[in-house]
Copies of this chain bind each other. A is one copy, B any other.
C-alpha cells in the first residue's frame, strides 16, 4: 500500500469545485500517473454554512487554515481563491511550513510573484502555476521546460476569453460593443463588473507572467502598457476586414535585444495569421523561438474543468517529484487496450463515382447503400446529359466493413463505370 499524496485545497468556488470534480472523475488515471493516490484531506472555505455544489464530504470543510498547516499528511497546498489577500498570506505560511504549492492565481503572481518564488526556492519547496495563464493550455511548462533551449523573441496571445467573445460577436454578428458585452454577461462569459476583462487588466496579469518566463527577466504588471476594447466601434471592425485584418485584444511581449516591450491592446492582425481564427471564448498563445520558429498553443482559457486540468497536472508533477527522486517516469502505458480492427472502425465517408447517364441509376446505388446499412447525408450529381455522370456521396457514420460491402456490390453494377475515390470525413 503506497502512501497517498495529501492535498489541502484553498477555496471551493468554480475552480476549487472543478478540482474536486476532475480528481474524482480521473482518480484511476491520476493514481497511475503519480504512482500513489491523490487525496484531498481538507478544504478551506470562508463560510461553512454556504451550500456547496461540489461533492465534498462536509467534514473535510473548515474555516481554520491552521488545521491544514498542522496536518503533516497535507504535502501540497492548492490555492484556488484568487486575488492578492488573503491568498498571499496563506501561501507564505504554507511555504514556511514546507508545503508544496500549486496556484491558479494570476493577479497574485503578477503582483507578488518575485517574493513568493524567492521564498519557495529558499525553503526548497515546489511552486507551480500552470493554471494562472490561459486556463487549460499548458503554456507555462512549455516555456519553462520544452522550450528551455530557445531564446524566445516574442510571445503574443489571446489570453482573455471575455474580450475575445465580445470581439468575435462584433466581427461575426455585427454587434456593437455594448450589445456584445450584455450578451456575454447573459451567458456568464463576462462578469457584472467587466472592467478587469474589458479594460485589459486580466490580460496584463497574464502577460507579466508569460513574458517573465519567456524572456527570463522579471516583468511586473505595472510595466505593461494596457489598453482595453471599450472604444472599438463597428466601423473599425468593418475597415479592418476590408484591409485584410481581424481585431483581437492581444497581449504582446517582445525581446528587442535585451530590452523588453510588453503591451496589451486591441490589435489588427492579418486574417491569415493563426491567431486571427481563434474565436469565441478560446485562448491561444503564439511563441517565436530562435530554434523552434513559430509555435501556437490553442485551447480553453477559462472554465472549471480546463483550469482544474492544469492545476491537477501540476499536482501530478509535484507528487511525482515527491514520490521519487529516481528517474523521470518514462512509460505511461498503464493500460492494455485492444485495437479496433479496420473493418469495425466507424466514420463518415465521401465517395466519388462515375456512372452511366440513365434514369434509375441513383436510386439503384442509393438502394445498395441502404441494404448494407449505409445512410447518406449528401448527394451531388454533376454532368447530367454527358456520359459519364459524376455522383458524389457523403455518408452518415457507418462501419467500414458495411461501407466496403456496399461498394463491392455497387462496383459490380454495369451502370457504374468506376468508384473514383473514397475519403473519410471527420467532424472534428
Partner-B contacts on A (CB < 8 A): 18, 22-23, 25-26, 29-30, 32-33, 114, 117-118, 120-121, 124-128, 130, 136-138, 141-142, 144-151, 156, 212-213, 215-219, 223, 225, 231-233, 235-236, 239-240, 242-243, 245, 247, 250, 252, 255-256, 258-263, 265-270, 273-275, 277, 286, 289-300, 303, 305-306, 308-310, 312-313, 315-318, 321, 325-340, 342, 345, 350, 352, 378, 380, 390, 392, 394, 420-421, 423-428
Contact = CB atoms under 8 A, between A and B. Distances in A.
Given A265-B424, A334-B216, A128 B313 contact: no
A212 to B, nearest CB: 6
A335 B259 contact: no
A25 B231 CA distance: 44
A366 to B, nearest CB: 18
- Among A121, A317, A337, the one with the most B-chain Cβ atoms within 10 Å of its Cβ is A337
A-side interface mostly: mixed
Given A26-B151, A291-B22, A327-B125, A218 B333 contact: yes
A222 B95 CA distance: 50
Given A252-B426, A291-B22, A293-B306, A331 B245 contact: no
A333 B212 contact: yes
Contacts of A242: 380
Contacts of A23: 149
A128 to B, nearest CB: 7
A225 B149 contact: no
Contacts of A293: 136, 299-300, 303, 305-306
